[in-house]
Chains A and B, each alone.
Chain A
Amino acid sequence: MKAQNKANGAPKMKHRNETVWSWLFMLPTMIFLGVTALLPLLYSVYLSFFKYKINLPNAVPTFNGLGNYIKMFTDKTLAVSTGNTVLFAVISVALELVIGIIVAMVLCSDMLWAKICTTILLIPMIMAPVAIGTTWRMMLDGTTGIINYLLSFLGIPSINWLSNPKYAMPAVIFVNVWQLVPWVAIIGAAGLKALPADCFEAARIDGAKNSQIFAKIVLPMISPLLVIITMLRFVDAFKVFDTVYTMTNGGPGTATEMLPNYIYKQGLKFFDAGYTAALAVMFVLIMTVVTLIFLKLRKFVEEKVA
């Protein structure tokens, strides 16, 4: 009773105190992210209007107006990279989603074997993407690679996976699928296990087949989760860098050149800070639009299910 009186006695003070503490708790993060993320992003916007070669010791930024942005329209490699990025993202995410959900479904069991398989699934997720890229590069090697050797038993002639423009992109997509199917499967399995089992029981008593239960009950119920998985994967696929860098570095030619790798090259190989900044700004804008579209889609699906 006494404590309650005390709390009621000074509610205003108490609220103000809480507000102050809330802001104080937020402050370290605000400062940290402000300095390491927001300001650099603004600096990128600023630099995008300048000509600035950062490999020259005494170079100073000179104003260039919209020059860097205009340059984008005549940059053929940029057009190719953008197309590649979209192609890569769409195909790899589609494959990851379908395969990942199938794997999640077949592993939907509480038996020991399923637990062991789940543990194995975690490994590609925790492996450094760089190591994944180099390991597959070793395995896909044209002469000493194990993949060509195994394929030779099927009568398939030796393929230079990473140095043939026709096969490099499928190879990079394949490795991304290998890397991220486990992620989709683990998240998908968590979602499937949370579904109410009595629904299935009831449907089964009514004589529904497993495939019908899947199409009519399971799929609609997990569709909001599928949208989220697609969104996270799609945004992530746009940012692919480590595996591309180690497997092909964009080559052969521009066959697997994608935006992050291209931006990296402009900045740290050609040292064109202004143009890099303009590309970065454009990239952020694209990503924002993609994210917004997915957020809308997610809202739409969630409302439809609810």
Chain B
Amino acid sequence: MRKKKEKEVSVMDDVIGNFAGRPARVIIVAITMIAIIFPLYWLVTSSFKVKADYLANPPVIFPHRFTLESFRQVLQMNGLLNQFINSFIVAAVSTAISLVFGSMAAYSVARGRFHKTVRGAFGLWFMVQKMYPAIATAIPIYLVMRNLHLIDTRTALIIMNTSFNLPLVIWLMMGFFEQVPLEMEESAKIDGATFLQKFFKVVFPVTKPGLVAAGILAFIGAWNEFLFAVILSINKSKTLPVVIAGFITDRGLEWGPMAATSVITLIPVLILVLLAQKQFVQGLAMGAVKG
């Protein structure tokens, strides 16, 4: 059995991987990796460069002077820790809310007792919701938040990110719930399990990987969200992406501190994805297949 599996893999590897021949494959992989890694190398080294080096012409490719000055500047002088906490609270809370509400709704659509039309209507609604442009509601949301005195609060950002993440979570979790064998639920039902018991005791435990996948995607989405963060925050509730963009519009050419802020922004989500790469990729694939 194991041997057969290995053989299958090698056929795939050869037929698809070497579709243009082995040398071409090596070249394509090498170019792709350099193209991805070089900008990251540039970003990371820029964050450690001294000012003379990040503004040098010609640019310094292999710096031999390193400094933590840029990190010191953004963390101490600009108080980046506050914005880091803002980002974290907004992303974590909105992810938690959308996971709870979203998986409930997804289970309801996937396995609840609805008329066919109602089920279809909900499915369509959540799909349209995933596609429609966020900018379309920017002005009304801004006006309402202003009237509620929620501008420049984390609450406003948590609400909006939850709104963006809910359709995503629902859509992913629907896919995972539909994979749970119907017999499992049927037998639980025969044993007298109620709707709630089925959800918590039967379906929930087997869809935990799905929940992790949806959670990671939602967290990253909220962590990196920019449009509403820049519209709804002035100062107190600024998140990290708003700070990064600010280096362009406010000050310009402060590449070192900008790079340091970007590195600080990247590290938490990088750790998250490295820890749960399998679920992350599974979630991405599921999102596309369902989409």
A interface vs B, CB < 8 Å? 3-4, 6-7, 15, 17-19, 21-23, 25-26, 28-30, 32-33, 36-37, 39-41, 43-44, 47, 54, 102-103, 105-111, 113, 117-131, 133-139, 143-146, 149, 178, 181-183, 186-187, 190-193, 195, 197-198, 200-201, 204, 210-211, 213-214, 218, 225, 228-229, 231-232, 235, 238-239, 241-242, 245-246, 249, 259-260, 263-264, 267-268, 273, 276-277, 280-281, 283-284, 287-288, 291
Contacts and interface: CB of A to CB of B under 8 A. Distances in A.
Contact of B244 (A110, A119, A128): A128
Contact of A44 (B35, B39, B136, B244): B136
A contact patch SS: helix
Nearest to A7: B190
A140 B180 CA distance: 49
Given A126-B269, A130-B241, 13 more contacts: A19-B114, A30-B105, A32-B101, A105-B17, A107-B29, A123-B36, A146-B59, A146-B61, A190-B281, A210-B18, A239-B133, A246-B245, A280-B133
B192 A3 contact: yes
Contacts of B159: 36
B107 interface: yes
Given A21-B196, A109-B13, A128 B18 contact: no
A181 B255 CA distance: 26
Contacts of A130: 224, 226, 241, 244-245
B contact patch SS: helix
A134 B29 contact: no
A26 B105 contact: yes
A128 B266 contact: yes
A186 B284 contact: yes
Interface in B203-241: 220, 223-224, 226-227, 231, 240-241
B133 A138 contact: no
Given A131-B244, A144-B56, A228 B288 contact: yes
26 contacts: A7-B192, A22-B112, A29-B101, A33-B129, A41-B132, A44-B139, A106-B17, A107-B17, A109-B9, A113-B29, A119-B274, A120-B37, A121-B36, A128-B224, A135-B43, A138-B259, A144-B55, A146-B59, A190-B288, A195-B16, A210-B15, A211-B19, A225-B288, A231-B291, A242-B245, A245-B245
Interface in B2-29: 8-9, 11-20, 25, 28-29
Interface in B136-154: 136-144
Contacts of B133: 238-239, 260, 280, 283-284, 287
Contacts of A113: 29
Given A40-B144, A109-B13, A280 B36 contact: no
Interface of B: 8-9, 11-20, 25, 28-29, 32-33, 35-37, 39-40, 42-43, 46, 54-59, 61, 100-102, 104-105, 107-109, 112-114, 122, 125, 128-129, 131-144, 159-160, 162-163, 166-167, 170, 189-192, 194-196, 199, 220, 223-224, 226-227, 231, 240-241, 244-245, 247-249, 255, 258-259, 262, 265-266, 269-270, 273-274, 277, 280-281, 284-285, 288-289, 291
A246 B245 CA distance: 6
Contact of A187 (B131, B255, B266, B284): B284
| 7 closest residue pairs by CB, A with B | A22-B112, A21-B195, A190-B285, A40-B137, A43-B140, A36-B163, A29-B105
Contact of B285 (A32, A124, A129, A186): A186
A237 to B, nearest CB: 11
Given A36-B159, A197-B8, A117 B29 contact: yes
Nearest to A291: B131
Contacts of B129: 33, 37
Given A54-B143, A105-B19, A126 B136 contact: no
B284 A277 contact: no
B105 A28 contact: yes
Nearest to B290: A228
Given A19-B113, A26-B122, A190-B281, A268 B128 contact: no
A143 B58 CA distance: 8
